[in-house]
């Protein structure tokens, strides 16, 4: 996971680019994974809500706030780690 400086315009562009790399289908796949029986306790309710907001923003080609994008990407990393185990 990359560390973004939210006051740096270059980092904000990188953040948007990283966020755009995920399609609505990718976000939905993560939501489905978080709702699976063995994973419900590994992903919090708030994290699942963040994934749903990210999916909605991706559907409408909109961007959440920078902090929300960072959080969504951290959750995506967490889910990728969980899938790997």
Digitized pLDDT (tens) for each residue of the chain, 85 residues in all: 678 999 999 999 999 999 999 999 999 999 999 999 999 899 999 999 999 999 999 999 888 999 999 999 999 999 999 988 5
Residue 47 is assigned to a structural domain of this protein:
yes
Residue 17 is assigned to a structural domain of this protein:
no
Sequence-ordered alpha helix ranges (H) in 36-65: 45-59
Q: How far apart are CA 11 and CA 85, in angstroms?
A: 31
Q: How far apart are CA 44 and CA 69, in angstroms?
A: 17
Q: Is the pTM of this model over 0.85?
A: yes
Residue 77 is assigned to a structural domain of this protein:
yes
Number of domains in the chain: 1
Residue 4 is assigned to a structural domain of this protein:
no
Full residue range of the structural domain in which residue 29 is found: 22-84
Residue 10 is assigned to a structural domain of this protein:
no
Residue 50 is assigned to a structural domain of this protein:
yes
Residue 58 is assigned to a structural domain of this protein:
yes
Q: How far apart are CA 76 and CA 82, in angstroms?
A: 10
44: left (phi over 0), alpha (psi -120 to 50) or beta: beta
């Amino acid at each position: 996971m990359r560390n973004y400086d939210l006051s740096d315009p270059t980092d904000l562009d990188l953040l948007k680019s990283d966020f755009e790399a995920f399609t609505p289908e990718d976000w939905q796949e993560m939501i489905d994974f978080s709702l699976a029986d063995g994973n419900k306790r590994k992903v919090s309710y708030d994290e699942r809500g963040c994934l749903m907001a990210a999916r909605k923003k991706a559907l409408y080609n909109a961007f959440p706030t920078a902090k929300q994008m960072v959080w969504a990407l951290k959750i995506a990393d967490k889910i990728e780690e969980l899938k790997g185990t």
